[in-house]
Amino acid sequence: MNVLSHPRITSFIGGQPVSPGGRDAFENIDPATGEVVSTVEVATAEDVDHAVSAARAALSGPWGKLTLDQRARALHAIADGIEARFDDFLRAEMLDTGKPVNLASHLDIPRGAANFRAFAETLKHAPGEFFPMVAPDGGDALNYTLRGPRGVIGVICPWNLPFLLMTWKVAPALACGNTVVVKPSEETPSTAALLGEVMREAGIPDGVYNVVQGFGPGSAGQYLTEHQGIDGITFTGETRTGEAIMRAAAKGVRPVSFELGGKNAGIVFADCDMEKALEQTARAVFMNAGQVCLQTERLYVERPIFDAFVEGLAERARALKPGDPFDKATSFGPVISAEHKDKITGYYDVAARHGANVVTGGGLYAMDGRLAGGNWVEPTIWTGLDDADTVLREEIFGPCVHIAPFDDEDEAITRANDSEFGLASMLWTQDLSRAHRVGARLQSGITWVNCWFLRDLRTAFGGMKHSGIGREGGVHGLEFYTELRNICIKL
């Protein structure tokens, strides 16, 4: 069954799509048009239990007997399968998210395949520990560490970069020998289902990769996080949902790995390369209609260049071209849903009521034809608000930024750090000493200097404060996806 040609998407359990029929279902809507893309069946509690049981059985089956090299070859086969069906994944991702083709084809789908390749190789080179010691009786002993799979991992995925972030979790989980039960967002169900087909075609044993479709509370998400057959839960999404998952994980004392919300700051010093700073800041604010966890929503610009920078960024915002996502001329897409559109424009209204200067945007695009039914929010720039304002404290997750001037380095750092979040930050300066000095003082899991969204998949990724728990990427994810054991041998 090809989910892209079938109007009904189901869960994928034990190596097979669940037979359609007899379950509650909901419509999957194209954010660009408001049209129905497919119908999605909601997994029942029994379906989730079946998926966890299938994943548990696979741990002791053929998958659990593979060597590290054999698992690495399996991950490369999955990446090959994604690349062979690139167009299918691209179309599925675009219809689910409304992403412009130039973005999805260069970021989301290539990174999905790259995640499997990167973690296939990372595990081959993961360091271990070896400690010779002298025992109390004067004899010798050796200590060394072994890493084994944690077990069945529950993977809860977001809707903004659904394929990229889902594979960012599934790939290391499988590389470490775990099995997974994936709950994609109800907004973006398609690529997770399609990956099940690729898993089967790549020869991955039944039960290693399972997908349960549905919602959060009272649905598949709650059933999965509360299931005592799940050995660990990894989640990317908003902080409040993370808190609910953490409460569920407390029963059974199960570990969690969270990448949560952000209210990311950028600092632009007067000595920056203005053109490069404007180009990358426009990406940092407006890429994917601002629906990126690493997006910059607060920007602090040194006063001598403040006016020029604000106008330069506004020009780039006005130059963005909303339109048919399948048209290569389109550079700006819709937001994910009507509900999210209302949330963003609600903040636009708050900013206006609080006296913000709306430099550009502040409303909705007027689209024609089929696109008139989509969720088209204008890219928006504000100035003039106080740092304590709601718009500067709460994550909006839309194509908007507030820009404020600053006068000295300490002020900029203090204001950038004045947030309950600490996911990412961005810094622009041509002074190398300042770059190191300021970068070290910013309270965020990742700081980009003179760039944005430049990722080496071997590096640690995650947030501070309310932005997350743990780190993903390279060997750093081993702390979550494996259990560490010490072997002590008396000689």
Confidence check: pLDDT of 6 > 60: no
Confidence check: pLDDT of 28 > 90: yes
What are the C-alpha distances in Å from 119 to residues 59, 173, 210, 386?
A: 19, 9, 19, 44
Cα 284 from Cα 23, distance rounded (Å): 41
Confidence check: pLDDT of 44 > 80: yes
- 348-357 pLDDT, tens digit each: 999 999 999 9
Confidence class of residue 123 from pLDDT cuts 50, 70 and 90? confident
Which amino acid, one-letter code, is at 8?
A: R
Provide the whole-model pTM. Answer: 0.95
Confidence check: pLDDT of 5 > 70: no
- 90-121 pLDDT, tens digit each: 999 999 999 999 999 999 999 999 999 999 99
**CB count in 10 Å sphere of residue 87:** 11
Tokens representing 180 are: 């997974």
Q: Which class for 491: exposed (0-12), middle (13-18), buried (19 or more C-beta within 10 A)?
A: exposed
Q: What angle do CA 47, 48, 52 make, to 5 degrees?
A: 120
Of how many residues is the chain composed?
A: 491
Structural domains of the chain ordered from first start:
8-260+467-490 (3.40.605.10), 264-456 (3.40.309.10)
Contacts of residue 316, Cβ cutoff 8 Å, sequence gap at least 6? 278, 279, 282, 286
CB contact at 8 A, 240 and 234: no
Confidence check: pLDDT of 201 > 50: yes
Confidence check: pLDDT of 319 > 50: yes
Share of the chain above pLDDT 90, in %: 95
**CB count in 10 Å sphere of residue 2:** 9
Catalytic option among 186, 259, 378, 395? 259
Cα 211 from Cα 228, distance rounded (Å): 17
In this predicted structure, what is the pLDDT of residue 61? Answer: 94
Residue 437 parent element (H or E):
helix 432-441
Judge whether 297 counts as a catalytic residue: no
Judge whether 293 counts as a catalytic residue: yes
What is the rounded average pLDDT of the residues 182-202?
Answer: 98
At residue 97, the 3 state secondary structure works out as: helix
What is the rounded average pLDDT of the residues 286-315?
Answer: 98
In this predicted structure, what is the pLDDT of residue 7? Answer: 76
Looking up tokens 């001329």 gives: 329
Cα 359 from Cα 327, distance rounded (Å): 28
Cα 112 from Cα 207, distance rounded (Å): 21
Catalytic option among 293, 378, 395, 400? 293
Cα 230 from Cα 224, distance rounded (Å): 7
Return mean pLDDT, the chain: 96
Contacts of residue 408, Cβ cutoff 8 Å, sequence gap at least 6? none
> 429-448 burial by CB neighbour count: b if 16+ within 10 A, else e?
beeeebbeebbeebbbbbbb
Tokens representing 426 are: 């961005």
Confidence check: pLDDT of 1 > 50: no
Which amino acid, one-letter code, is at 340?
A: H
In this predicted structure, what is the pLDDT of residue 3? Answer: 42
Nearest Cα to 293, choosing from 188, 402, 403, 159?
159
Q: What angle do CA 270, 273, 278 make, to 5 degrees?
A: 90
Cα 54 from chain centroid (whole Å):
26
Beta pairing class for 152-156 and 232-236:
parallel
Sheet holding 468-469, edge to edge: 16-17, 12-13, 209-211, 179-183, 152-156, 232-236, 256-259, 468-469
Cα 45 from Cα 302, distance rounded (Å): 55
